[in-house]
């Protein structure tokens, strides 16, 4: 297996699930074997892939009620360990010594079956985000070029450093990806420059590729299709293709 990548931002509405889906779909188009893991109780990634959240889920896996092979669902868009609404109570369910390593240990038996495991995380800095980061070799941070995203990245920086110090010393922040971006807006450009400086503080970079706002993304999600098959000529398809190329070149 090449990498476990967590897509992380505690701020909602920044295109986290969209990025996780597009990243996995784009890698699959290149011939890689991909497993999605949905840790967000909102189940956006689970829905987009047409998976069933009423059976065995990521929560069952993390709490040891099932093994990973049984939790995996095969869909037309790829393999996924789906989310469950019950994940919303994870901070009180997932407790005890070594709780941070639950996902890492649970995925170990199947890691050799995939080139990439893509983990979608909830918009919070609770235990689910921590176990996702602990299980990952790399983190991608989707963000918007606004002041609230900047504040969120500063808060996330503390969590990433703590996890790297105590749980996952080999963790790498692969980069910050600007989503829903309007490059013509003066404010967006100014905030993007500040985010670029913040990225260097995280010992990472702001990806040169940005993801433009595109209605086709929402349409694809409603249709339960990835952006590449739904609207291959759309701005979003072009942007996510360029992002994946940039990510692969700069491992």
pLDDT confidence of 235, banded at 50, 70, 90? very high
SS3 content of the chain, % helix, strand, coil (to 5): 50, 20, 35
| Domain ranges (residues) in the chain | 3-249
More confident residue, 136 or 14: 136
What is the reported pLDDT for 111? 94
Residue 182's nearest CA partner among 228, 235, 230 is: 235
Give the percent of the chain with pLDDT over 70: 97
Residues 133-143 pLDDT 10s: 999 999 999 98
Is it the case that residue 130 has pLDDT exceeding 70?
yes
What is the reported pLDDT for 64? 93
**For 145-153, what is the mean pLDDT?**
77
Is it the case that residue 187 has pLDDT exceeding 60?
no
The domain defined by 3-249 carries CATH number 3.40.50.300: yes
Residue 188's nearest CA partner among 166, 214, 212 is: 212
Give the percent of the chain with pLDDT over 90: 73
Residue 76's nearest CA partner among 57, 55, 48, 54 is: 48
**How many other CB atoms sit within 10 Å of the CB of residue 194?**
14
Residues 81-102 pLDDT 10s: 999 999 999 999 999 889 999 9
Is it the case that residue 189 has pLDDT exceeding 80?
no
If 0-12 CB within 10 Å is exposed, 13-18 middle and 19+ buried, where does residue 54 land? exposed
Query: Distance from CA of residue 182 to its chain's centroid?
Result: 22
Q: Are 138 and 164 in contact (CB under 8 A)?
A: no
Residues 6+ apart with CB under 8 A from 181: 144, 145, 188, 192, 210, 211, 212, 213
Query: Distance from CA of residue 61 to its chain's centroid?
Result: 18
Q: Are 12 and 121 in contact (CB under 8 A)?
A: no
| Contacts of the segment 232-238: beta carbons below 8 A, 24+ positions apart | 236/22, 236/211, 236/212
């Amino acid at each position: 297996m090449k990498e476990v990548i967590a897509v992380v931002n505690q701020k909602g509405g920044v295109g986290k699930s969209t990025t996780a889906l597009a990243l996995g779909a784009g890698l699959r188009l290149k011939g890689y074997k991909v497993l999605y893991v949905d840790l967000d109780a909102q189940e956006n990634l689970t829905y987009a892939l047409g998976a069933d959240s009423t059976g065995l889920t990521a929560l069952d896996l993390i709490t040891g009620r099932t093994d990973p092979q049984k939790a995996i669902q095969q869909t037309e868009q790829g393999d996924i360990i789906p989310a469950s609404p019950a994940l919303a109570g994870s901070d009180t369910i997932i407790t005890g010594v070594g709780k941070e390593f639950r996902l890492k240990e649970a995925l170990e038996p199947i890691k050799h079956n995939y080139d990439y495991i893509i983990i979608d995380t909830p918009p919070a800095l609770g235990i689910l985000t921590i176990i996702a980061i602990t299980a990952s070799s790399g983190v991608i941070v989707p963000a918007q070029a606004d002041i609230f995203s900047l504040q969120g990245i500063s808060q996330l920086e503390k969590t990433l450093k703590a996890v790297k110090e105590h749980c996952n010393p080999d963790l790498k922040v692969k980069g910050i990806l600007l989503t829903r971006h309007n490059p013509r807006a003066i404010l967006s450009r100014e905030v993007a420059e500040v985010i670029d400086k913040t990225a260097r503080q995280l010992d990472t970079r702001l990806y040169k590729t940005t993801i433009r706002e595109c209605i086709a993304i929402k349409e694809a999600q409603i249709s339960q299709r990835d952006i590449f098959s739904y609207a291959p000529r759309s701005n979003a398809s072009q942007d996510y293709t360029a992002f994946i190329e940039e990510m692969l070149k700069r491992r």
